[in-house]
Structure 1
Amino acid sequence: MAIHPELEVEAVTDTEGVTIPNPLLQPLKINEINGRRKRAEDSQWVVAAPSNTSSFKLHSSKGKPKARRWDHILSAESKRREGSSLKRAAKWLGRPGLISLGGGLPSSDYFPFDSLTFKAPVVGHFSEEETHDSGIDITSGKHDLAINKSIFDIEISFNYGQGSGAAQLLRWIAEHTELAHKPPYEDWACTMSVGSTYALEMAFRMLTESGDYILSEEYTFATAVETAAPLNVRVAGIKMDEQGLLPESMDEILTNWEPAARHGARKPFVLYTVPSGQNPTGATQGTQRRKDIYAVCQKHDVYILEDEPYYFLQMQPYTGADAPDPPPPASHEDFLKSLVPSLLSMDVDGRVMRMDSFSKVIAPGCRLGWITASEQIITRYKKHSDVSTQGPSGMSQLVLFKLLDEHWGHSGYLDWLIFIRMEYTKRRNVILDACERFLPDVVSWKPPMAGMFHWMQVDWKKHPHAKTKSVTELEEEIFMASIEHGSLVMRGSWFYAENDIEHDTMFFRATYAAAPSDKIVEAIKRFGDAVRESFGLPAIEYEVAENGNHAIDSNGKVENDSERRKLET
């Protein structure tokens, strides 16, 4: 009799049995992850030990489809790369009794560090003040593995390692990916990166040739364009709305692609997109939008680079300046369900390389992220990294392992993500309230639902010099006026995917991530003053009263703090 794969048989007597659910195939609960971990051989944790995501997966992938092969899009450079022959020898380092005189691994006797200690917040007490008052010191010694105190220590992490990163942290990353995204095909894998920007450059080198085009939003991450340019790779901009790139625009571009009109370039087969809190527009693709984008990519056989540093900065719904903030998610499960499903979670073909990063949710300076893709693509990526970056900083890996695996665990990390979600929601609301108070009617915006950027459109055609000056000249004028008033916002033209086409819109990008709330408000007020000055609109004068700032128009009318502060004629 065939046994259902999600069931196991437990004996009752010698001849009878009952079926019980297989725990490894049931929905994953955050507090069960440690108990589901497979027992790893001690050799997994030694210096420069190779590792494989498949040994860290918590669910069986049997029965799921396998990823498509992508040989037809791999670049000639990628196909030529053979990886590091010296690192391949590392697979024998964990053999008991082996004396290694092979690899050039310095003895940890000469590392001038005995221990590493940092202070981190206790779960549920995440603020800076609470961390200072009640945070705990986390310490790693040099030889913690040898004395069975930890599986990761200074001796291992501060030495050379594999391009994929240390197995100790890679296990946590694979578990987190499975928990958050549940990739729906069998042979997915993860490998660490030295941040997403380097991962993106590596992806361009793996998947494109000189002279190619890639696809992206018409306003896109400026560094992505600047990373592609030296490789002689151009970007074709896809039209956008408040949810980001329009799948019908991408379909139209691909259907009607004419090499003669595009410097002789072949039809693009790589899409670079930032689906959540897109930089610079702050747009977030909804669930159906992502499904539609994926369908267009299937139709035209396009490979997707999903850059998601802001994925966990999806915020609470914006309910208006005077409305109370919605409460935080009630549980970890509610938090995960509230997130728009990733493209990775929809990927049945293995056509998505997802780039994740700790830069926006832990700290940019750790320079550590990871990619998730099919085993074929991950294998090619590692052949690049093994002979270039050689993997992310071991010091960063050790700090993150101690924080995420040993201290917080998956549950505590989700608590941290909920905390920063609520903090970013407050900051987002501050900048939106300030815009309502201080910006003239020629400026409009959509409330961002994720990320850290606020995208403001200026109706430049209402400018008194619109017929005599170009949109670029007026943008420069407003930008410099804002600088003179003491506020820095970024020019929208700096984010064009294509600089060589005519643009008829004007935007400015502000961030609510860096400055404290009072400075955010003041900066928006100064930007509003600069726009008024450029457009020749009446200035707003301010005075300080006992109950706060009041805006006074030219007739002496005072608007109080509970009302809209925009005073226009």
Structure 2
Amino acid sequence: MAPHANVDVEIEPVTDTSSVVFNDPVQIKTVRPQKFTIDHVLHHRQTGTAVPNTVAAFASANMFKSKAALGKPNARRQFDHRLTEESKSRKPSSLKEAMKYYRAGTISLCGGLPSSEYFPFEELNAKVPMAPAFSEAETAMSGVSVSSGKYDAVRDGRSDLDLAIALNYGQAMGPGALIRFLTEHTEIVHDPLYSDWEICLTAGTTSALEIALRMFTDKSQYVITEEYTFSSAIEAVVPLGAKMLGIKMDADGMLPEELDSVLSEWDESARRAPKPFLMYTVPTGQNPTASTQSLERRRQIYAVAEKHDLFILEDEPYYFLQMDPFVSGRTHNVPSPFKPAGVADFLANLVPSYLSIDTSGRVLRMDSFSKIIAPGSRCGWVTGSPKVIERFMRHSEVSAQNPSGFVMVALHKLLDENWGHKGFLEWLMYIRSEYTRRRDIMVNACEEHLPREVASWVAPKAGMFHWISVDLTKHPLYQSKCGNIDYATLLEIEEAVFVSAAEQGVLIAKGSWFRSQKGTDTELFFRTTFAAAPAEKIVDAIAKVGGALRKEFGLPEQQAQNGHAR
């Protein structure tokens, strides 16, 4: 995995896809401020802005950024010219705007904020791991109980967020305590190149994507994505009257030359649609293919975005699940007790995000706690240029508003008051190690049990998924139809393998579910996940998938080591 380049970046729109210019650090005359790290957090908090601790208080990333972040130039663009008429027409919530005037001691007869004395929760408690003793067994033995009282922040000053604040109505961006933590996290991990980025909490990435699509997508437009993409993204785009435009991929994700070619040759008359400007991508551990874009690939795609003025929706739920390389026959062990690497080393070995190379403000990054804490948290956050985030908040105000107050309190207690940034990053190292071990188990099982005559794969570098390619030309129907398999026949074969595996008690996902342009499949794929099943069940499940493939492709059954057929 490529380390962050410690250099200034200048992006120049030109006529090819090599438009990223990296200045020679030796020749740079201006000295960049010292990068914000976890070592700076305590002093920064002591000397910076206090977290507002009134009900429905306004907060923003700018309140909590370091001097290094604030000293950078603003984003070169704001992309409000790309907004839909629906998004442009949204006005701020009158009631929420009025809370700008709320101060301690103010008597509010304005908003319908229920009195906290009628919240039937005086205190909530949870037992959580102490970093780095993260396993279930260790948590049972050495975990700590954290609690949130109703008035910890307002009356007692023991916390920056309590139940009285979190369980009441709040601003769309979320409470200041979480905005502060995520602002610091963004600087530590991504170190954006422009200064005026902002953050807004979300009710998870699926909700964030739906809002973003409403902000940027009109009827009859195309949304650019990989040729195989997240099925929920397809299901969100189609009802808006828009279409998906799938770009060819390889093992490193979307092909930049193919993206450039499609956009350069766009014919509005033939396509009956304007040239696309919105791109949705899952760069790391892509769902469903598990492809991970290298830093060079991201630079190339960003250069195409600069050339064609694309706006990028960067969906990154698996960003921190970037794994060590797979070695055949080996399974990475997770030591007990877990021994995390140094934070600096961990961060240096993450492929930099689109947010971290963006200078134009053309990236809206979508993060989520779903894959790194728990899906039921229904909590995430978006980061982008200020006008884009302002419009995002206008949409949030009339939909999800913000995540559940119970969740926000729990996350604040876990991340800020218990783990801190170092503990959180060590937790991310821990789950990365666990998923690396699970990845190894699954890929080794594939090597042992899947018929290589028809099945092939590339070991995932990140994420939770394993993408298996199946050679249609080896199926009996291919032979019977003289090599002319139509789409209906492809689906027939796909269904047969799916049902055969299901009859043996194993569910796998059909590749056609993820085809961005429905009905254009020419190859057969299946998606498996090593996230859901217990580790000891993964091998048995893959063996049954191998049995389903052998059955449907007319191959001999696999012989077990003791000589008995499976």
Length-normalised TM-score, structure 2? 0.89
Identity %: 48
- Equivalent residue number for residue 240 of structure 1: 249
- The alignment status of 1:436 with 2:455, answered yes or no, reads no
- The alignment status of 1:527 with 2:535, answered yes or no, reads no
- Equivalent residue number for residue 13 of structure 1: none
Look up the SS of the partner of 1:508 in the other structure. Answer: strand
Structure 1 residue identity aligned to 2:309: D
CA distance in 2, matches of 1:151, 1:531: 56
CA distance in 1, matches of 2:412, 2:53: 13
- The alignment status of 1:191 with 2:200, answered yes or no, reads yes
Deviations 1:310-352 (A, max 9, x none): 0001111112223766997631000001100001000011100
- Determine if contact 1:161/1:391 at 8 Å carries over to the other structure: yes
Aligned CA distance change for structure 1 residues 538 and 520 (closer, same or farther; 3 Å): same
CA distance in 1, matches of 2:538, 2:331: 20
Matches within 5 A, 1:478-497: 478-497=497-516
- Determine if contact 1:239/1:245 at 8 Å carries over to the other structure: yes
- Determine if contact 2:317/2:370 at 8 Å carries over to the other structure: yes
Deviations 1:369-397 (A, max 9, x none): 00000011011111111122211111111
Deviation (angstroms), 1:425: 0.5
- Equivalent residue number for residue 510 of structure 1: 528
Look up the SS of the partner of 1:182 in the other structure. Answer: coil
Look up the SS of the partner of 1:395 in the other structure. Answer: helix
- Equivalent residue number for residue 351 of structure 1: 362
Look up the SS of the partner of 2:477 in the other structure. Answer: coil
Aligned with 2:71 (options 62, 67, 81): 62
Matches within 5 A, 1:24-35: 25-35=33-43
Matches within 5 A, 1:43-82: 44-60=52-68, 61-82=70-91
- The alignment status of 1:204 with 2:213, answered yes or no, reads yes
Look up the SS of the partner of 1:402 in the other structure. Answer: helix
Structure 2 residue identity aligned to 1:273: T
Look up the SS of the partner of 2:82 in the other structure. Answer: coil
User: Mind listing any 5+ residue stretches in structure 2 that lack a counterpart?
Assistant: 1-30
Deviation (angstroms), 1:137: 0.6
Deviation (angstroms), 1:27: 2.7
Look up the SS of the partner of 1:235 in the other structure. Answer: strand
- Equivalent residue number for residue 117 of structure 1: 125
Deviation (angstroms), 1:41: 6.3
Aligned with 1:313 (options 321, 340, 357): 321
Structure 1 residue identity aligned to 2:513: W
- Equivalent residue number for residue 101 of structure 2: 92
Deviation (angstroms), 1:480: 1.0
Structure 2 residue identity aligned to 1:361: I
- The alignment status of 1:378 with 2:389, answered yes or no, reads yes
Aligned CA distance change for structure 1 residues 299 and 553 (closer, same or farther; 3 Å): farther
Deviations 1:399-457 (A, max 9, x none): 00000000000000011001011100100000011001100011000000000000000
- Determine if contact 1:65/1:185 at 8 Å carries over to the other structure: yes
User: Mind listing any 5+ residue stretches in structure 1 that lack a counterpart?
Assistant: 1-22, 543-549, 555-566
- Equivalent residue number for residue 471 of structure 1: 490
Structure 2 residue identity aligned to 1:460: L
Moved more, 449-458 or 477-486: 477-486
Aligned CA distance change for structure 1 residues 551 and 191 (closer, same or farther; 3 Å): farther
Aligned with 2:177 (options 168, 180, 185): 168
- How many residues of Structure 1 are paired with residues of Structure 2 in the alignment? 523
Deviation (angstroms), 1:541: 4.0
Matches within 5 A, 1:404-423: 404-423=415-434
CA distance in 2, matches of 1:125, 1:56: 30
- Equivalent residue number for residue 554 of structure 2: 536
CA distance in 1, matches of 2:357, 2:535: 37
- Determine if contact 2:51/2:177 at 8 Å carries over to the other structure: no
CA distance in 2, matches of 1:128, 1:486: 28
- Determine if contact 1:118/1:137 at 8 Å carries over to the other structure: yes
Deviations 1:494-549 (A, max 9, x none): 10000143x2210000000011112111110000001001111111243xxxxxxx
Aligned CA distance change for structure 1 residues 67 and 85 (closer, same or farther; 3 Å): farther
Look up the SS of the partner of 1:72 in the other structure. Answer: helix
Deviation (angstroms), 1:46: 0.8
- Determine if contact 1:357/1:370 at 8 Å carries over to the other structure: yes
Bigger RCO of structures 1 and 2 (CA < 8 A, at least 6 apart): 2
CA distance in 2, matches of 1:342, 1:109: 44
- The alignment status of 1:294 with 2:302, answered yes or no, reads yes
Structure 1 residue identity aligned to 2:289: T
CA distance in 2, matches of 1:424, 1:36: 34
- Determine if contact 2:51/2:180 at 8 Å carries over to the other structure: no
CA distance in 2, matches of 1:226, 1:45: 39
- Determine if contact 1:119/1:138 at 8 Å carries over to the other structure: yes
Look up the SS of the partner of 1:164 in the other structure. Answer: coil
CA distance in 1, matches of 2:236, 2:371: 20
CA distance in 2, matches of 1:62, 1:289: 29
- Equivalent residue number for residue 498 of structure 1: 517
CA distance in 2, matches of 1:352, 1:165: 21
- Determine if contact 1:121/1:136 at 8 Å carries over to the other structure: yes
- Determine if contact 1:83/1:384 at 8 Å carries over to the other structure: no
Aligned CA distance change for structure 1 residues 97 and 536 (closer, same or farther; 3 Å): closer
- Equivalent residue number for residue 564 of structure 1: none
Structure 2 residue identity aligned to 1:484: E
CA distance in 2, matches of 1:379, 1:337: 31
- Determine if contact 2:334/2:437 at 8 Å carries over to the other structure: no
Aligned CA distance change for structure 1 residues 330 and 319 (closer, same or farther; 3 Å): same
Aligned with 1:365 (options 376, 391, 399): 376
Moved more, 509-518 or 467-476: 467-476
CA distance in 2, matches of 1:219, 1:142: 47
- Equivalent residue number for residue 547 of structure 1: none
Structure 2 residue identity aligned to 1:465: L
Structure 2 residue identity aligned to 1:388: S
Deviations 1:17-36 (A, max 9, x none): xxxxxx99323231331221
Aligned with 1:334 (options 324, 345, 360): 345
Deviation (angstroms), 1:112: 0.4
Aligned CA distance change for structure 1 residues 164 and 293 (closer, same or farther; 3 Å): same
Structure 1 residue identity aligned to 2:512: S
Aligned with 1:261 (options 265, 270, 273): 270
Deviation (angstroms), 1:37: 2.0
Look up the SS of the partner of 1:285 in the other structure. Answer: coil
CA distance in 2, matches of 1:475, 1:99: 64
- Determine if contact 2:331/2:440 at 8 Å carries over to the other structure: no
- Determine if contact 2:332/2:440 at 8 Å carries over to the other structure: no
CA distance in 1, matches of 2:218, 2:149: 46
Aligned CA distance change for structure 1 residues 492 and 36 (closer, same or farther; 3 Å): same
Deviation (angstroms), 1:478: 1.0
Moved more, 75-84 or 322-331: 322-331
Deviation (angstroms), 1:257: 1.4
Look up the SS of the partner of 2:238 in the other structure. Answer: helix
- Equivalent residue number for residue 180 of structure 1: 189
CA distance in 2, matches of 1:65, 1:376: 12
- Determine if contact 2:442/2:542 at 8 Å carries over to the other structure: yes
CA distance in 2, matches of 1:52, 1:507: 44
Deviation (angstroms), 1:149: 1.2
Look up the SS of the partner of 1:432 in the other structure. Answer: helix
- Determine if contact 1:321/1:432 at 8 Å carries over to the other structure: no
Look up the SS of the partner of 1:312 in the other structure. Answer: coil
Look up the SS of the partner of 2:366 in the other structure. Answer: strand
CA distance in 2, matches of 1:553, 1:64: 69
CA distance in 2, matches of 1:223, 1:230: 12
Aligned with 2:461 (options 429, 449, 452): 449
Look up the SS of the partner of 1:465 in the other structure. Answer: helix
CA distance in 1, matches of 2:80, 2:162: 39
